Amino acid sequence: MNRIKEVLKEKELTQTWLAAQLGKSYNMVNSYVQNRRQPSLELLYTIAGLLKVDPRELLATKKEKEKNGNI
């Protein structure tokens, strides 16, 4: 599971924007966002860089973030 959808919303960015930045189709990015498919570790780091977040932020669940006091 990843938090790409949540982070995009927090940053007010769209899946279309992310797809263009990655050189991927909207459908591929949408499959990552909907957790139907997981990006490779390398791609996850690239996404994190584009979103200016720590890669671990994309992997943490909301419950884990609340537990750690990061929300």
CA dihedral 49, 53, 13, 15 (to 10 degrees): 60
The 3-class SS string of 41-69 reads: HHHHHHHHHHHCCCHHHHHCCHHHHHHCC
User: Residue 4: pLDDT above 90?
Assistant: yes
| pLDDT tens per residue across span 27-43 | 999 999 999 999 999 99
Domains and CATH numbers, the chain: 4-55 (1.10.260.40)
Global pTM reads 0.82
Of the pLDDT bands very low, low, confident and very high (cuts 50, 70, 90), residue 1 is confident
